[in-house]
Amino acid sequence: MADPKKYDNRLGLKGWWGGGRWGFERYAYTLHRLTGLGLITYFVMHILVTSSRAFGADAWAEWMGNVAGPIFHVGEFLVVLSFIYHACNGIRLILVEFGFVVGKAEEPIYPYKTSLNKQRPLLIVMMILAALFVVAMGYDYWMLH
Amino acid sequence: MRETRFWTWHLLAGIAILIFGGLHMIVMHLDGILGWFNPAGGSALDWANVVVRSQGFLFPVVYIILLGVTLFHGFYGLRNILLELGIGRCGRVTVNILLVGGGIVLFTIGAVAAIKAMGV
């Protein structure tokens, strides 16, 4: 494996916590990573727990009983929240990655414009969409079960 | 070039998760409001509903696709976060081996369970 170029990751994990000149998008980035870490941790457990269905109704009931306490109930809703945020913010990131909603490239004439401001309405729309899903799934989760 | 290809797969896997994972979340977490793919009524986790979803062709296939793309998307994202910490060449090799190995083991467990559950 070739050694990649070394760049000083000066702030390391500390860089996740300060938005600095990147503004609100930096906190969206940090939350995207935190929710991603939470989701992959849950997903590993989810694979192991739900695989019990292959062993029949008794195994399924036993495993569902093991994860039925109030801590798991609250934890599962946090997973739902994380998924909603990660998905909605992920849509924004993919659109920005492929060059949508950041405006056309133009000459840097003072006062300079930043593409961050061009895509910010999309961030707001995606967070409103996320809030709608949170309300719907929260109602289903806490009121109907 | 290889990392660019992996990054593109990471994004495409994200889109696949959005579709299949979104459907999964709607089935599991809007079951009270919509009740999709839960013919026995009640909770999506009730054994009768689990059996119906496990025995058809659609859901096991979707589960296995979702399993693969989610493991790739999640473990590649985790790898990026770990490698950004500057863990050195030995650390990079260890992370790669653990994540690829762990991903293959988890995929095998989940895929075998999905196939075996078709006969419950």
CA–CA gap between residue B100 and residue B76 (Å, rounded): 9
In this prediction, residue A5 carries a pLDDT of 63
**Is B84's Cβ below 8 Å from some Cβ in A?**
yes
Q: What pLDDT is recorded for position B2?
A: 86
Paired tokens of B82: 């770990």
pLDDT digit string, tens, across residues A76-113: 999 999 999 999 999 999 999 999 988 888 888 888 87
Q: Which residue would you say has higher pLDDT here, A11 or B63?
A: B63
What do you get for the CA distance between the two ends of chain B, in Å?
45
User: What DSSP character marks residue A109?
Assistant: -
DSSP string, B27-50: HHHSTTTT-TT-TT-S-TTSHHHH
| Residue A4's pLDDT band (cuts 50, 70, 90) | low
Mutate to test the interface with A, among B7, B29, B43, B84 (most CBs of A within 10 A): B29
Q: Does B42 touch chain A (CB under 8 A)?
A: no
Least Cα separation, residue B57 to chain A (angstroms): 15
Is residue A24 within 8 Å of residue A124, measured between CB atoms? no
Place B42 in a pLDDT band, splitting at 50, 70 and 90: confident
pLDDT in tens, A6-45: 666 667 788 888 777 778 888 999 999 999 999 999 999 9
A116-133 confidence digits (pLDDT tens):
788 899 999 999 999 999
Query: Residue B103 corresponds to which tokens in the numbers above?
Result: 């991903």
Cα A23 to Cα A32: distance, rounded to the nearest angstrom = 15
pLDDT in tens, A30-39: 999 999 999 9
Chain A and chain B share a number of CB contacts under 8 A equal to 89
Domain boundaries, chain B: 2-119
Of B96 and B42, the one with more pLDDT: B96
Of residues B33, B75, B120, nearest to A56 (C-beta): B120
**Complex prediction ipTM:** 0.92
The chain A residue lying nearest B25, using CA atoms, is A80
- Enumerate the residues of chain B whose CB falls inside 8 A of the CB of residue A44: 106
Query: Spelled out in words, what is the top-level CATH class assigned to the domain A24-102+112-143?
Result: mainly alpha
pTM comes to 0.90
User: Within the 40-79 window of chain A, which residues sit less than 8 Å (CB to CB) from chain B?
Assistant: 40, 43-44, 47-48, 50-54, 56-57, 60-61, 64
CATH class of B2-119: mainly alpha
Return the closest-CA partner of residue A44 out of B119, B56, B74, B50. B74
